[in-house]
Each structure stands twice: as C-alpha cells, then as structure tokens.
Structure 1
Amino acid sequence: MAKCRNCGKKLSFTEALVAICTECDEKRVAEASKSKEQKEAERAAMLAEAEAEKRRIESVLLTTESAIHDLRIVKRLDVITVECAFGMNIFKDLFASARDFFGGRSAAVQNTMRESRQTALNELRAEAHRIGANAVIGIDLDYVELSGSGNMVLLVASGTAVVIEGAA
C-alpha cells in the first residue's frame, strides 16, 4: 500500500493517485491561502504607505511670496530647483504656426505649458519634502525655448525650501 510523501500515513486508493493524504493536502492548501492573504495584506500596507507619502508631499505649501505673513519660518533649508523639458509634437507645431500666422490662441500649446507648470511644481514639492521642508517660498518659474523652432521648452522652477511653524 502507498504512503503519504509528507507524513508517511497509509493512503487510500484515491489519495494514492496524488501521493498525499487528505490531512496533508488540507494543510498545504491552508498554508498557500495564508501566504496569499499575507501577500495581499503586505500589498495593501504598501499602497497605504504610498498614498500617505503622496498626501505628505501634496501638503507642502508653495508660494511666490518671499515670506509667509501669517506663518513663522523656523528654518531655511536650501534653494531648490527642478527642470522640466517639454517637446511640442509636429501637430502642435503646425497648429501653433497657423495661429501665429492668422492670430489667436493655441489651446494645444497652452495645455502643454499648463501641464509643464503643474509637473514642475509637483516635482518642487517632492524635492522640498525629500529634504525635510514643509513649504517653498519665493518660487520663480522661468521658461526657456531650447531650439529656435520652438520644438522644446525648458521650464525651471526654483524657490527656497523652508520649515514653517504650524504647518503639517
């Protein structure tokens, strides 16, 4: 008669087909589902921590003012800068050229510039958070055309990373 490969117990005919007894098989299934539950719990914890980190970064105060009148600056940490280069695709270029010729506003170019500004400010927040600041004051945005045809635009965002009292 066949024996269970895990515990050595004599197997019934149906158990002999898989070479493991019912009790050992149930334990194996329970351990597999337990580790799956543990993996799901770890994944949920990682996602929760990432969301909390995102909220902490988003809470960094940004201002173009050199001082925040209703909050006290406890510590000035550093001047921080981020650079974002954005390309205009061929269709945006064509429509922008037509707008230049006929006059009017180019929604495609405006949207790209808005997106570049939002990206640069988000990266400025992340950089400030990385060095322990909870605010960036004196923010300056500079746009630079990288090529003569206007295909690439560089946006440089800079400011002073500070710790302010009473902010999250």
Structure 2
Amino acid sequence: MIVTTTNTIEGRKVADYKGLVSGEAVIGANVFRDVFASIRDFVGGRSGSYEKVLKSARDEALRDMTEDAERLGADAIVGVDLDYEVVGQSGSMLICIASGTAVTLG
C-alpha cells in the first residue's frame, strides 16, 4: 500500500477513487510522563516520552486508515493529512487523525 501526502504518485495514474478513509487514535499521557515533561520544559530539551506518545498515536492512526483503504480494495492512499488535538477534561488525552483518499492505480 502506497501512502502519500501528495495528490499524485509519480509514474502512476489513478484508475478509480474509492473514497475518503481515516484512522483515529486517542492516547492518554500518564501522570509520571507529565511530571518528567514539565521538568524537561523547565530545563530545556526534547521530551522523549511525549515524542513516543506522538509517534505511537500517528502509527496507530495510519494503520487504521490503511486497513480502511484495504477493505475498499485500494492500492494507495493519496492526499494524506495528519491532525493532532489535545482533548479531555485536563487536556490529558492526545488524538491523532489520519485521513486521505483511497485509490486504485492503473
């Protein structure tokens, strides 16, 4: 399965548009991760724990979107967009949404 943010795939033609596909992942950040991230914010540097959460959410959303496209019989997903939002009463949940257009290639 080809997954791309571009609207075309070089050297390939879109034979059929199967429709919009998406995948969502909601992941909670735990208290210990929050504490260590706030320390990291204070002293500077990257927060490896939050980066892992972001990567995990992205990977899960892309996997769900790809499975959705496979059910439609698609060969590729074009125009992929990733959105991240913080949700929950205290902003402790991260949601990642991957969306794109499922297509078959000629």
TM-score range, shorter chain: over 0.9
Equivalent-residue separation in structure 1 for 2:22 and 2:63 (angstroms):
12
**1:125 equivalenced with 2:71 (yes/no):** no
Provide the residue aligned with 2:34 in structure 1.
Answer: 93
Instruction: Please give the residue correspondences for 1:34-113 in structure 2 after superposition, counting only pairs within 5 Å.
Output: 60-113=1-54
Q: Hey, which of these two has a bigger chunk of helix by percent?
A: 1
Q: Structure 2: any 5+ residue segments left out of the alignment? A: none
Q: Structure 1: any 5+ residue segments left out of the alignment? A: 1-59
SS of the equivalent of 1:70 reads coil
Equivalent-residue separation in structure 1 for 2:86 and 2:11 (angstroms):
37
**Number of aligned positions between the proteins:** 106
Quote how far apart the aligned CAs of 1:69 are.
2.0
2:56 to 115, 126, 135: 115
Equivalent-residue separation in structure 2 for 1:70 and 1:118 (angstroms):
27
- What's the TM-score once normalised by structure 1's chain length? 0.60
Larger CA Rg, structure 1 vs 2: 1
SS of the equivalent of 2:70 reads helix
Quote how far apart the aligned CAs of 1:98 are.
1.1
Instruction: Please give the residue correspondences for 1:147-162 in structure 2 after superposition, counting only pairs within 5 Å.
Output: 147=88, 149-162=90-103
Quote how far apart the aligned CAs of 1:92 are.
0.7
| Structure with more relative contact order (C-alpha pairs < 8 Å, separation 6 or more) | 2
Identity %: 38
Q: 1:147 to 1:102 in 2, by over 3 A?
A: farther
Quote how far apart the aligned CAs of 1:144 are.
0.3
Instruction: Name segments (4+ residues, structure 1) moved above 4 Å.
Output: none
Q: Hey, which of these two has a bigger chunk of strand by percent?
A: 2
Q: Is the 8 A contact 2:18 2:104 kept in 1?
A: yes
Counterpart AA for 2:28:
G
Counterpart AA for 2:6:
E
Q: Is the 8 A contact 2:22 2:64 kept in 1?
A: no
